[in-house]
Chains A and B, each alone.
Chain A
């Protein structure tokens, strides 16, 4: 288990010494090796069987599921866009046109949400799922079952969003969901909009699981010799994307949990006149701006790969290209207020954010030039993937130049809320999607083993490119049209009609793509390992499609080029995967460090489990139930209706399904092995589950940070002392709880010590002590809260109460999750587990200590200050 057992340690410092027993068995190319990979041995049904797609945990299968699902959402979001374009054919009065006002607002909002969340990122992550392990030389992701969980959560979150349309209508407040329009008081579609918010929260859960998984994989499973800065550009772009996702989506999760609570618990955050409205814009854009790069980076990665292959040149200034991406990823977290230039922020702050905004645009100039210069002295082949990537670069240049207009604050003042913004971000975002379609055409032969019709591919590109520009360029011309409005100036009509025609052309172009790719599955010409000359990355060195475990041996770049070493996995390397990991209903995931540490013959990695589906189904049903809840005591705040008992019942069923599935997945024997030789800098000495726990805790820090920040923001706006009614008069319960938690951290350490000493009663006793202390914490809190409720301090009584109950409530939820895991640990210890294997307890301890530390912040903030 520990890294000490490993035959050797690789670092990124260039000292990757290899074990002598690992021999180079094959030089490239190695056609067809591994094609005979047997499926039955892994209990994975064949590709043709429906069951396979429900149980698979293989990264390539999951990648295909992601891609197919995201294309479905492309059609969904695209249809909504076409409805909007029909409405905009001419200026309409409120009742005119095919959509009424509310329906139009729903279409606008759902189009934005679906395209940003359910189409473009998952589409990129379909490609990433399929290709990143191949490119870095890994058999799969670190936690294959968690990868499947990510996918199913994604699918179910989209379904939940779809169902929200049938709950009286979905969310209608724009994809930016500005407060306080986003609370039920102003939302005529109360349950539907709650459900849409919850769908987003479920999506964030999927993203968080996925981010942790990719980070752990990319830091722990690279082929020997593949240092971090030597990753193929697509993989580099994904690495930076998941880093941004880990933190940015945590901020979004905070915003969504607060919003959900405003919907179903009656808290007062966003309705509060003490800056509730601004709080949302801060939280949303702190997520929202990195999101732009989260969407665009994978597209940059695809462009770089495709440009290199089809020009037959290496990327010019490769290291500066990657350095630019790193710079952008870091800076992306300090530009969010440029979305808020017209709110009441002062000149100093505006100046600062103007500067950071210009700063973040410059690295993109370098990347654009780098791509252009890569073409020089190349041998450019205008294949479908290249056309799409080339087109994407053209569109991105236009999007970038028009973005500089918005960077000039004086112009931004006038362009805010107009079609200039709409046109600009569609050139950037849909420009990015253009590159991703290029990526699909680039890797389709790898995924299917078939080539599509190149002519139809080019027809698609021409229709797409013409349609795109006909759709979005007129929006620059009539940029004075206000966003999300169908009653525009009649003088703009011809331009809007051109845009509508362009929209339909763009939509129709996809019919060509779907036809081409679908038919080619059967009739396409077989391709070999590598249909594209000058492709260099590892996915092209294996068969198309690649075998189940990707490589015919252990990939290594020791000699400077890719070779495959003899498979020499010592049995001690065998580990379990997701048995240690559990997903939880609080929207984030909690790593449950337990599992089946059986010794197992290597080479029989598991690839099938139904429980990721079960867990996600359970969460889906649970979230359906939460959407049906309404605050008990604040009917005046909630426009229509009371709780929906049917939905709530469904939620109850969901909790049961979730619990059973979590337990079953934890108990399920599931084996994954880690390659004995891999680049693991800088985490060579951090075991993968531990690394995963740390990554997750990193995002949890942002989640709590956002909650605490929200409290501080609201209190500061109200007036820290004079404007804020501190209703907690007795800090003693809080103080008692501080000591209870601190003591419980200590008893977790005792459990580890006992495990090391192979003392089963000691382990059980220490774990149960921890459990009892945690229960004591909750009982104490229960008494405190009921006392407060009796005094009229309910969550809906005011912003003071809202912040207190929600922030400490989120913490209590973390405690409860910890207790569930503790029970499981104790039960396993009863069966004799963990003796000499204290890692699961250690990883639980990390989580538990973190929960303690959070309380050490919450206690003074809410009880003393």
Chain B
């Protein structure tokens, strides 16, 4: 798939958003939002304008030639060309937008295993792989050296983190809004995802699939710490309480972004 991805994206190299998931998401989201708003305003505006212009009783432009009659067999109202022109335009907008994002999809899909692409923009190319398991109603994380934590994910700043996610009981969905990462946690399956841990701090990990009574409160935290601190932590040289001393509120607000 990677070969195919680069083949497709050669002419689009400059156009296709690449980078961290946050960058990619923001770029695409804003383009969609601006274009979507524009199209919406044009189409709905055109609707209102027509509704106003052809309101009953304004006496103009009314075609009295061939009024619909009660009991007629349904007939076509004509204007097929105009219809297809607008349909064609809308199809071009939608298809080009999706094809454009497809390039990014290929890029994003390529990063969840192996070495990340240089476009991700991290210096340390070694990914941190964390096995994540959802259970009612929390998350557990197993690091590469076998260390496990519950409800707290500690990762080093500026590295690609690759998640392997599954569930012990029911269908969950792990999401870290701060890093625009989300993936299903399904019993019996393992899904993969990735993100770049930027900005040291503490952020929410939220469950996005209804999983029972405790679903609303199924919130874990990710602690993004400097590399040395991370190493101390996974080698049991420091404890969670030392790390979780970082500012609670900044994390909460950041989750709001």
Q: A104-B216, A414-B180 are in contact. Are A375 and B189 (CB under 8 A)?
A: no
Binds B, one of A366-374, A661-669, A836-844: A366-374
Q: Which of B24, B63, B71, B182 contacts A538 (CB 8 A)?
A: B71
Task: Tell whether, in the assembled complex, residue A354 and residue B102 are in contact, meaning their CB atoms are under 8 Å apart.
Answer: yes
List, in ascending order, chain A residues with CB within 8 A of B217's CB: 93-94, 101, 487
Within 410-447 of A, Cβ neighbours of B (below 8 Å) are at: 410-411, 413-414, 416-418
Q: Look across to chain A and name the residue whose beta carbon is closest to the beta carbon of B110.
A: A347
Q: A104-B216, A108-B210, A232-B74 are in contact. Are A408 and B98 (CB under 8 A)?
A: yes
Within 1-42 of B, Cβ neighbours of A (below 8 Å) are at: 1, 21, 24-25, 28-29, 32, 36, 39-40
List, in ascending order, chain B residues with CB within 8 A of A368's CB: 43
Task: Tell whether, in the assembled complex, residue B55 and residue A365 are in contact, meaning their CB atoms are under 8 Å apart.
Answer: no
List, in ascending order, chain A residues with CB within 8 A of B69's CB: 536, 561
Q: A186-B170, A372-B43, A402-B36 are in contact. Are A480 and B256 (CB under 8 A)?
A: yes
How far apart are the CA atoms of A625 and B108 in the complex, in Å?
51
How far apart are the CA atoms of A28 and B28 in the complex, in Å?
58
Query: What are 10 contact pairs spanning A and B, CB under 8 A?
Result: A105-B212, A272-B188, A273-B188, A278-B186, A313-B68, A314-B74, A354-B98, A380-B51, A536-B72, A561-B69
Task: Tell whether, in the assembled complex, residue B213 and residue A101 are in contact, meaning their CB atoms are under 8 Å apart.
Answer: yes
Q: Is the CB of B240 closer than 8 A to any CB of chain A?
A: no
Q: Look across to chain B and name the residue whose beta carbon is closest to the beta carbon of A272.
A: B188
A-B pairs, 10 with minimum CB distance: A417-B208, A562-B71, A314-B77, A273-B188, A365-B90, A408-B101, A491-B256, A317-B83, A316-B77, A174-B210
Task: Tell whether, in the assembled complex, residue A358 and residue B28 are in contact, meaning their CB atoms are under 8 Å apart.
Answer: no
The 0/1 profile, CB within 8 Å of A marked 1, for residues 63-97 of chain B is 10001111111111111101110110011001101
List, in ascending order, chain B residues with CB within 8 A of A404's CB: 32, 36, 94, 97-98
How far apart are the CA atoms of A716 and B70 in the complex, in Å?
59
Q: Look across to chain A and name the residue whose beta carbon is closest to the beta carbon of B82.
A: A373
Q: A181-B212, A278-B186, A308-B68 are in contact. Are A373 and B74 (CB under 8 A)?
A: no
Binds A, one of B117-125, B141-149, B153-161, B171-179: B171-179
Interface size on A, residues (CB 8 A): 113
Q: A311-B54, A318-B77 are in contact. Are A102 and B68 (CB under 8 A)?
A: no
Binds B, one of A202-210, A389-397, A801-809, A817-825: A389-397
Give the interface of B toward A (CB within 8 A): 1, 21, 24-25, 28-29, 32, 36, 39-40, 43-44, 46-47, 50-51, 54-56, 61-63, 67-80, 82-84, 86-87, 90-91, 94-95, 97-98, 101-102, 104-106, 108-109, 136, 169-171, 173, 175, 177, 180, 182-184, 186-191, 206-217, 219, 252-253, 255-256
Task: Tell whether, in the assembled complex, residue B97 and residue A233 are in contact, meaning their CB atoms are under 8 Å apart.
Answer: no
How far apart are the CA atoms of A178 and B187 in the complex, in Å?
12
Binds B, one of A42-50, A125-133, A149-157, A223-231: A223-231
List, in ascending order, chain A residues with CB within 8 A of B91's CB: 362, 365
Task: Tell whether, in the assembled complex, residue A405 and residue B71 are in contact, meaning their CB atoms are under 8 Å apart.
Answer: no
Give the shortest distance, in Å, between A328 (CB) and chain B (any CB).
14
Task: Tell whether, in the assembled complex, residue B73 and residue A226 are in contact, meaning their CB atoms are under 8 Å apart.
Answer: yes
Task: Tell whether, in the assembled complex, residue B208 and residue A418 are in contact, meaning their CB atoms are under 8 Å apart.
Answer: yes
The 0/1 profile, CB within 8 Å of B marked 1, for residues 538-572 of chain A is 10110000000000000001001111000000000
Q: A181-B170, A365-B87, A404-B97 are in contact. Are A487 and B71 (CB under 8 A)?
A: no
Q: Is the CB of A343 closer than 8 A to any CB of chain B?
A: yes
Task: Tell whether, in the assembled complex, residue B72 and residue A178 are in contact, meaning their CB atoms are under 8 Å apart.
Answer: no
Task: Tell whether, in the assembled complex, residue B36 and residue A483 are in contact, meaning their CB atoms are under 8 Å apart.
Answer: no
Task: Tell whether, in the assembled complex, residue A277 and residue B173 are in contact, meaning their CB atoms are under 8 Å apart.
Answer: no
List, in ascending order, chain A residues with CB within 8 A of B211's CB: 181
Within 517-547 of A, Cβ neighbours of B (below 8 Å) are at: 530, 534-538, 540-541
List, in ascending order, chain A residues with CB within 8 A of B70's CB: 28-29, 530, 535-536, 540-541, 562
Task: Tell whether, in the assembled complex, residue B50 and residue A315 are in contact, meaning their CB atoms are under 8 Å apart.
Answer: no
Q: Is the CB of A312 closer than 8 A to any CB of chain B?
A: yes
Q: A277-B189, A366-B83 are in contact. Are A351 and B102 (CB under 8 A)?
A: yes
Q: A482-B207, A489-B252, A534-B68 are in contact. Are A397 and B44 (CB under 8 A)?
A: yes
Q: A28-B70, A94-B216, A347-B1 are in contact. Are A178 and B102 (CB under 8 A)?
A: no
Task: Tell whether, in the assembled complex, residue B182 and residue A101 are in contact, meaning their CB atoms are under 8 Å apart.
Answer: no
Q: Is the CB of A492 closer than 8 A to any CB of chain B?
A: yes
Task: Tell whether, in the assembled complex, residue B216 and residue A318 are in contact, meaning their CB atoms are under 8 Å apart.
Answer: no
Task: Tell whether, in the assembled complex, residue B80 and residue A343 are in contact, meaning their CB atoms are under 8 Å apart.
Answer: no
Task: Tell whether, in the assembled complex, residue B83 and residue A417 are in contact, meaning their CB atoms are under 8 Å apart.
Answer: no
Q: Which of A29, A316, A380, A397 contacts B83 (CB 8 A)?
A: A316
Q: A105-B212, A561-B73 are in contact. Are A394 and B47 (CB under 8 A)?
A: yes
Most chain A Cβ neighbours within 10 Å, of B25, B70, B95, B187: B70
Q: A181-B210, A372-B43, A480-B256 are in contact. Are A409 and B95 (CB under 8 A)?
A: no
Within 25-70 of A, Cβ neighbours of B (below 8 Å) are at: 28-29
How far apart are the CA atoms of A424 and B214 in the complex, in Å?
26
List, in ascending order, chain B residues with CB within 8 A of A365's CB: 86-87, 90-91, 94
Task: Tell whether, in the assembled complex, residue B90 and residue A411 are in contact, meaning their CB atoms are under 8 Å apart.
Answer: no
Task: Tell whether, in the assembled complex, residue B56 and residue A320 are in contact, meaning their CB atoms are under 8 Å apart.
Answer: no
Most chain A Cβ neighbours within 10 Å, of B187, B217, B219: B187
Q: Look across to chain A and name the residue whose beta carbon is closest to the beta carbon of B190.
A: A344
How far apart are the CA atoms of A817 and B80 in the complex, in Å?
52
Task: Tell whether, in the assembled complex, residue A408 and residue B54 are in contact, meaning their CB atoms are under 8 Å apart.
Answer: no
How far apart are the CA atoms of A416 and B101 in the complex, in Å?
17
Q: Is the CB of A407 closer than 8 A to any CB of chain B?
A: yes
Task: Tell whether, in the assembled complex, residue A398 and residue B40 are in contact, meaning their CB atoms are under 8 Å apart.
Answer: yes
Within 85-122 of A, Cβ neighbours of B (below 8 Å) are at: 92-94, 101-102, 104-105, 108
How far apart are the CA atoms of A615 and B25 in the complex, in Å?
55
List, in ascending order, chain B residues with CB within 8 A of A483's CB: 208, 210
Q: Is the CB of A382 closer than 8 A to any CB of chain B?
A: yes
Q: A180-B187, A342-B183, A343-B191 are in contact. Are A410 and B90 (CB under 8 A)?
A: no
Q: Is the CB of A12 closer than 8 A to any CB of chain B?
A: no
How far apart are the CA atoms of A225 and B69 in the complex, in Å?
17
Most chain A Cβ neighbours within 10 Å, of B68, B71, B76, B189: B71
List, in ascending order, chain B residues with CB within 8 A of A319's CB: 76
List, in ascending order, chain B residues with CB within 8 A of A180's CB: 169-171, 187
Q: Look across to chain A and name the residue whose beta carbon is closest to the beta carbon of B60.
A: A377
Q: A536-B72, A560-B73 are in contact. Are A178 and B67 (CB under 8 A)?
A: no
Q: A365-B87, A410-B108 are in contact. Are A485 and B215 (CB under 8 A)?
A: yes
Task: Tell whether, in the assembled complex, residue B104 and residue A370 are in contact, meaning their CB atoms are under 8 Å apart.
Answer: no
How far apart are the CA atoms of A397 and B43 in the complex, in Å?
8
Q: Look across to chain B and name the residue whose beta carbon is closest to the beta carbon of A309.
A: B68
Q: Is the CB of A787 closer than 8 A to any CB of chain B?
A: no
Give the shortest distance, in Å, between A385 (CB) and chain B (any CB).
14
Q: A362-B94, A380-B54, A482-B208 are in contact. Are A233 and B32 (CB under 8 A)?
A: no
Q: Which of A277, A377, A413, A492 contacts B61 (CB 8 A)?
A: A377
Given contacts A92-B216, A375-B54, A557-B73, 17 further A-B contacts (CB under 8 A): A28-B71, A101-B214, A104-B216, A173-B212, A274-B188, A342-B183, A343-B189, A354-B102, A358-B95, A365-B94, A372-B50, A378-B54, A405-B32, A408-B97, A482-B207, A485-B216, A534-B68
The 0/1 profile, CB within 8 Å of B marked 1, for residues 236-265 of chain A is 000000000000000000000000000000
Task: Tell whether, in the assembled complex, residue B210 and residue A541 are in contact, meaning their CB atoms are under 8 Å apart.
Answer: no
How far apart are the CA atoms of A361 and B210 in the complex, in Å?
28
Task: Tell whether, in the assembled complex, residue A487 and residue B219 are in contact, meaning their CB atoms are under 8 Å apart.
Answer: yes
Q: Which of A178, A370, A397, A541 contacts B209 (CB 8 A)?
A: A178
Task: Tell whether, in the assembled complex, residue B94 and residue A178 are in contact, meaning their CB atoms are under 8 Å apart.
Answer: no
How far apart are the CA atoms of A230 and B75 in the complex, in Å?
8
Most chain A Cβ neighbours within 10 Å, of B77, B84, B95: B77
Q: Is the CB of A811 closer than 8 A to any CB of chain B?
A: no
Q: Which of A225, A414, A486, A534 contacts B67 (CB 8 A)?
A: A534
How far apart are the CA atoms of A351 and B108 in the complex, in Å?
13
Task: Tell whether, in the assembled complex, residue B40 and residue A486 are in contact, meaning their CB atoms are under 8 Å apart.
Answer: no
List, in ascending order, chain A residues with CB within 8 A of B184's CB: 342-344
Task: Tell whether, in the assembled complex, residue A358 and residue B54 are in contact, meaning their CB atoms are under 8 Å apart.
Answer: no
Q: Is the CB of A275 closer than 8 A to any CB of chain B?
A: yes
List, in ascending order, chain A residues with CB within 8 A of B21's CB: 414
